């Protein structure tokens, strides 16, 4: 996702509806779709997927990549010290840097979506 310069961020609902966040991929995109799109972008650009995790490049990482690409749920099992927490923290790198919200809204729901939106 392209970063928005601070002076160009929308500050009202009208400005938000005229901004890049009204594209279809943002208005009805689930978390799984967001993670999948960002993972594909990272693979194409050659960005490291899980920096700091060593020894799982041929086993665990491909399984996680397959799960994200397939939009599957994941359960991480293992003994202490097997990078489960580090992997979970690394999954946040597949989320967008910025999301549309309206200032003052307590629940930060998607302001471009009707009440029937599914968060994923």
Domain that residue 75 falls in: 10-94
- Write the DSSP string, 33-84: HHHHHHHHHHHHHT--SSTT--S-TTTHHHHHHHHHHTT--------TTSSH
User: Which DSSP category does 102 fall into?
Assistant: -
Number of domains in the chain: 1
Residue 113 within a domain: no
pTM of the predicted structure, to 2 decimals: 0.70
Residue 119 within a domain: no
E strand or H helix that includes residue 86: helix 84-90
Between 65 and 107, name the one with better pLDDT. 65
Residue 115 within a domain: no
* pLDDT tens per residue across span 17-73: 777 666 655 667 788 998 999 999 999 999 999 988 889 989 999 999 999 999 999
pLDDT at 109 over 80: no
Residue 111 within a domain: no
Residue 107 within a domain: no
Angle formed at CA 106 by CA 103 and CA 108, multiple of 5 degrees: 70
* pLDDT tens per residue across span 46-59: 999 998 888 998 99
Residue 71 within a domain: yes
pLDDT at 15 over 90: no
């Amino acid at each position: 996702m392209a970063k928005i310069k601070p002076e160009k961020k929308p500050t009202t609902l009208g400005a938000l509806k005229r901004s890049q966040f009204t594209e279809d991929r943002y208005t009805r995109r689930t978390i799984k779709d967001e993670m999948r799109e960002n993972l594909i972008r990272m693979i194409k650009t050659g960005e490291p997927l899980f920096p700091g995790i060593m020894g799982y490049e041929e086993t665990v990482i491909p399984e996680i990549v397959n799960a994200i690409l397939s939009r599957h749920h994941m359960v991480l099992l293992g003994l202490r010290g097997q990078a489960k927490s580090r992997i979970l923290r690394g999954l946040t790198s597949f989320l967008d840097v910025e999301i549309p919200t309206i200032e003052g809204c307590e629940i930060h729901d998607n302001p471009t979506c009707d009440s029937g939106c599914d968060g994923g």
